[in-house]
Amino acid sequence: MHAIQLVAPSLSGLRRTVLADPQPGPGEVLVRLRAAALNYIDLAVATERFPGARFPMIPVSDGAGEVVALGPDVEDVEDVRVGMRVVPHFMPDWHSGPLEQRRVRRMRGITLPGSLAEYVAVPAASVVPLPAHLDFAQGATLPVAATTAWNAVRSAQVRPGSVVVLLGTGGVSLFALQFAKASGATVILASSSEEKLERGRRLGADHLVDYVARPDWDAAVMDITSGRGADLVVESVGGATFARSITAAAVGGTVFTVGFVGGAHAQVDVLAIMSKALRIVGNNTGSVADLREAVRAIAAHRIEPVIDRRFGFDEADDAYAVLAEGRTHVGKLAIVHERG
C-alpha cells in the first residue's frame, strides 16, 4: 500500500513509501482510509513534544474510510460489515467507562499506525459508523476534536441558559461551539482576528472577544455576563490562558482542561478555585462510546465540521506547515487520499 511515514520527529521527516498491506487479525477490521485530519497532537508528535512514538511510523491519529475486510470472528462479536463508512477511534482499546492507563497505551498515529496510509487494521470495537451527511474528510475530523468537545459540553451539563467560553477557533473550540449552541447555551468566543470571530458568529457564537485587542478577555466575559462568569470554559490553550480561565468561570463553573498550544505551565489563583468551588476537569480525549455519542449528536443536529483546507495526500507537508504556523487556520485541516 501507499503510505507516508514520519521517519524522525521533524517536520521535514515525512516520506512517501510503499509498505505491505496490513491484514486484519482476530477481532479486527481492515479499513481503506479515504481521508485524514490533523490535530495539534500530530504536530506535537512530529516535533518531539509528545512521547511514545517510535520512528519510522505512519502518522496522523484521525482518519475515516470504509471497511473492506473482516478479521476472524468479527461478524460474531461486532456490528460492522464490509462497505460500511467508518471512523476508527484514536484510542482503540478504550471502549467505554472511565479512563484507565491500560486503555490508552495504544493510540493511532502515536503508538499505532495512523491515517496517512491506504489501509489500516483496527479493532472492530473501535470503529464508529460515519453519519450519512458527512463525507470522508469531515468524518476524519471527529475522533480527537469532536469527542473532546462533546465531553466538555457533557461534563458541564450544558443546557439552555448555560454560558460557555471558548478560546480560539481551532478544531476543539469550533466543535464545542456547535455542540454548545445545539444544547441551547450562550457562547462567548475569543479569537485573534475579526475575520475569525466573524466565522464564529456565523456558526452561532453570541458574543465575540478579540483577545489580541482585549488581552483581559476574562474581564470582558465578566462584563458580558454582568459579573456572573461562565458555566464552562473550554481551556484549549493552556499556560497562556489558564489563570484568566479561572477568573472567567462562574461560581461552581467548570474549567475543562485539554490544551497546551499556549504552554503546559501556569500560575493560578488557588483561592479563586476554592472560593468559587470550581470544577477543574482534566480530559484525555475519550472512549469509543464518547465518540459514538458525539457522532450521534452530530447526526441529530446535522452538524457540519468546519474544514479550513483540504490537502492532497502528497501535500501532507503543507498541511503540517499550516498547523505549525498556528492561528492561520479555522477549524480543521484535512488530507484527502487519492480516491477520497
Ligand X SMILES: NC(=O)c1ccc[n+]([C@@H]2O[C@H](COP(=O)([O-])OP(=O)(O)OC[C@H]3O[C@@H](n4cnc5c(N)ncnc54)[C@H](OP(=O)(O)O)[C@@H]3O)[C@@H](O)[C@H]2O)c1
Residues forming contacts to ligand X in the complex (CB under 6 A) are: 39-41, 144-145, 148, 167-173, 190-192, 196, 211, 236-237, 240-241, 258-262, 283-285, 327
CB of 120 or CB of 248, closer to ligand X: 248
Contact status, residue 288 vs residue 128, Cβ threshold 8 Å: yes
**Residue 214 contacts by C-beta under 8 Å, 6 or more apart in sequence?**
220
Find the Cα–Cα–Cα–Cα dihedral 147, 100, 38, 34, rounded to 10°.
-80
CB of 204 or CB of 262, closer to ligand X: 262
CB of 3 or CB of 144, closer to ligand X: 144
Could you give the CA distance from residue 36 to residue 268 in angstroms, rounded to a whole number? 37
Could you give the CA distance from residue 268 to residue 245 in angstroms, rounded to a whole number? 10
CB of 29 or CB of 330, closer to ligand X: 330
Range 8-11 contact pairs with CB under 8 angstroms and sequence separation of 24 or more: 8/55, 8/56, 9/45, 9/46, 9/47, 9/48, 9/53, 9/55, 10/46, 10/47, 11/46, 11/47, 11/317, 11/320, 11/321, 11/324
CB of 3 or CB of 295, closer to ligand X: 295
Q: How far is the CB of 139 from ligand X (least distance, A)?
A: 16
Q: How far is the CB of 200 from ligand X (least distance, A)?
A: 8
Residue whose C-beta lies closest to ligand X: 170
Q: How far is the CB of 60 from ligand X (least distance, A)?
A: 13
Q: How far is the CB of 84 from ligand X (least distance, A)?
A: 26
Q: How far is the CB of 15 from ligand X (least distance, A)?
A: 24
Give the residue from 196, 134, 141 showing the smallest Cα distance to 166: 196
Give 21's strand partners. Answer: none
| Rg, Å, the chain Cα set | 20
CB of 80 or CB of 140, closer to ligand X: 140
Q: How far is the CB of 83 from ligand X (least distance, A)?
A: 30
